Amino acid sequence: MKHSLQIGIAGLGTVGAGVVKLLHDNAALIEARAGRKITVTAVSARDKTRDRGVSLEGFGWHSDAVGLANDPHVDVVVELIGGSEGTARELAEATLAAGKPLVTANKALLAVHGAALGLAAEKAGVPLGFESAVAGGIPVIKALREGLAGNKISRVAGILNGTCNYILTVMREEKRDFHDVLADAQRLGYAEADPSFDIDGIDAAHKLAILAALAFGRLVDFDAVHIEGIRRVSALDISFAEELGYRIKLLGIARETPAGVSVRVHPAMVPKEALLAAVDGVFNAVLAEGDFVGTVFLQGRGAGGGPTASAVVADLIDIARGNNVPVWGAKAAALSAAAVVPMAAHVGPYFMRLMVVDQPGVLADVTAILRDHGISLESMLQHGRKPGEAVPIVLVTHETNEAAIMQAIARISQLDSVLETPALIRIEAN
């Protein structure tokens, strides 16, 4: 049997401690599947004295995580620090420069610097594993890069952030407002003290940039992602969505079209019978459509020490076996340079909610503006009458162009009878 694979771990938070525990508790099973032992030999973290619930006895300690890259007792570096810059980036670059494999759960690092890191790994001839960077314990990276390698992928879509999915689920089930549910999510540990990365869609966008690169055989490009979060989704919108037969989800959607690649993160209405509509709470899910395989749907826990550690160890087992696949599914020279389709070119149906003064002529003014921009209506909802008071009116459009709907919204917002900026949510067919 080969000598053991020696691991250095940078970052001993929930995931790092989970990796140490998993490698210890399932050591015999992992050795059998990897063909050799996988052992932790060195670690790095900010606080050496903190109790993490796992023993660090016998491990080498690096106060500077970058030192792991050149430690002679480390064969593979596991980066669990997080962030696209600073120590995480320095460690990743130093590891690959030293000709050592890198495993990372850092979606921000990969979304922003993944093209350069992939090229560095290719030049060094070493693996760069990141199964844990997207959707926690769901093996979506391996599915796209290897399991579906023979397919032309036309679309990948998913619920990629458990915090947002939890908030939207509770808002729907308990008919509560966004800020109230967010405060509860923070108390329960589902949302950070500063939840911006989650609720503004940035975390999901990091993950979608990675999935789009793998799905379409292109260099990862975070700047290409259109990003919107869930701050403006109201309990009223969720209630109307239910009445219309939809659920509101924060979706990441990447699609390849004849005009290029569209990559977007935003709240969307999906039919209740759609696969993604049934994914609730902190769960994640990813749906991919291939020309030969059809639709593939993966669901599971998208975060947490156990699921994410599971994905890290899966990469380590691959490395122990000697598996080394191209980082982005093909050699850098073979990756696509297809154009990015701007969000203004998106075509689809829309949900629009207006808060208006209930008085004669309001609806006529609104529909006249929509007509001017070539937008036709499929349905309208208004419950009851409150003459002279504010009432919600919901309009559902047929398929229309994003640029046209945005121009119409700007004009509608200027009407004296419209009391606030209209709420606009895109509708996805499935």
pLDDT digits (tens, 9 = 90+) for 25-77: 999 999 999 999 999 999 999 888 788 888 888 899 999 999 999 999 999 99
Phi, psi of 396 (to 5 degrees): -115, 120
264 DSSP 8-state letter: E
Q: φ, ψ for residue 233 (rounded to 5)? A: -75, 125
Nearest-angstrom CA–CA distance, 60 and 109: 26
Set 175, 207, 249, 272: catalytic member = 207
- The continuous run of DSSP H or E covering 254 comes out as strand 246-257
CATH 3.30.360.10 placement within the chain: 140-301
Average pLDDT over residues 338-358: 92
Q: Where in the chain is the domain with CATH 3.40.50.720?
A: 5-133
pLDDT over threshold 70, residue 143? yes
* Residue 359 confidence (pLDDT) above 90: no
Q: Is a pLDDT exceeding 80 seen at residue 218?
A: yes
Instruction: Report whether pLDDT(330) > 70.
Output: yes
Angle between helical axes of 402-413 and 362-372 (0-180°, round to 10): 150
CA separation for the pair 63, 6 (Å, rounded): 19
Whether residue 81 contacts residue 91, with contact meaning beta carbons closer than 8 Å, is answered with yes
Q: Round the average pLDDT of the chain to a whole number and report it.
A: 93
Can you give the pLDDT at residue 188?
84
- pLDDT tens-digit series, residues 375-412: 999 999 987 677 777 889 999 999 999 999 999 999 99
**With contact defined as beta carbons under 8 Å apart, do 87 and 65 qualify?**
yes
Structure confidence at residue 163 (pLDDT): 93
Place of tokens 């004669």: 360
CA dihedral (163, 164, 165, 166) positive or negative: positive
Mean pLDDT of 211-216: 96
Q: How far apart are CA 395 and CA 376, in angstroms?
A: 10
Q: Where in the chain is the domain with CATH 3.30.70.260?
A: 344-427
Does pLDDT of 20 surpass 70? yes
C-alpha 118: how far from its chain's center? Answer: 20
Q: Residue 17 pLDDT more than 70?
A: yes
- Nearest Cα residue to 19 out of 7, 5, 3: 7
For residue 361, what pLDDT band results from cuts at 50, 70 and 90?
Answer: confident
Helix (H) or strand (E) holding 121: helix 107-124
What CA–CA distance (Å, rounded) separates 160 from 222?
15
Q: Assess whether pLDDT exceeds 90 at residue 360.
A: no
Distance CA 250, CA 367 (A): 28
- Using only the alpha carbons of the chain, give its radius of gyration: 24
Q: Is pLDDT at 1 greater than 60 in this prediction?
A: no
**207 annotated active-site:** yes
Pairing of strands 390-397, 377-381: antiparallel
Asked whether residue 196 carries a pLDDT value surpassing 80, the answer given is yes
Tell me what pLDDT residue 382 has.
84
Query: Which residue is associated with the tokens 């869930």?
Result: 230
**Cβ contact 56:41 at 8 Å:** no
Decide if pLDDT at 304 tops 90. Answer: no
Say whether pLDDT at 191 is over 90.
no
Q: Report the pLDDT averaged over residues 340-344.
A: 94
Task: Report the pLDDT value the prediction gives residue 193, as an integer from 0 to 100.
Answer: 87
Percent of the chain with pLDDT over 90: 83
Both tokens of 121, joined, read 């790994």
Percentage of the chain lying above the pLDDT 70 cut: 99
pLDDT score for 7: 97
Question: What is the structure's pLDDT at 53?
Answer: 82
Token pair of 352, please? 């629009």
pLDDT value, residue 190: 84
**Domain 5-133: CATH class, spelled out:** alpha beta
Cα gap 21→58, rounded to integer Å: 14
- d(CA 426, CA 41) in angstroms, rounded, equals 50
CATH number given to 140-301 = 3.30.360.10
Mean pLDDT value of segment 236-257: 96
Is residue 146 predicted with pLDDT exceeding 80? yes
CA-CA-CA-CA torsion sign (191, 192, 198, 203): negative
Backbone angles phi, psi at 217, to 5 degrees: 60, 50
- CATH architecture observed for domain 344-427: 2-Layer Sandwich (3.30)
Element housing 17 (H / E): helix 14-25
Burial 367-384 (b: 16+ CB within 10 A, else e): eebbeebebeeeeeeeee
Contact 78, 38 (CB under 8 A): no
The pLDDT value given to residue 260: 92
Q: pLDDT for 255-287, tens place per residue? A: 999 999 999 999 999 999 999 999 999 899 999
Please give the full DSSP string across 357-418, using - where no structure is assigned: E--TTHHHHHHHHHHHTT--EEEEE--S--TTSEEEEEEEE-SEEHHHHHHHHHHHHTSTTB
Q: Which two tokens stand for residue 71?
A: 């430690």
Query: Which helix (H) or strand (E) segment is 239 a member of?
Result: helix 235-244
Range with lowest mean pLDDT among 16-20, 161-165, 261-265, 359-363: 359-363
Q: Is 189 exposed, middle or buried (0-12, 13-18, 19+ CB in 10 A)?
A: exposed
> Do the Cβ atoms of 268 and 182 come closer than 8 Å?
no
Phi, psi of 260 (to 5 degrees): 140, -160
pLDDT band at 84 (very low <50, low <70, confident <90, very high): very high
pLDDT value at residue 78: 98
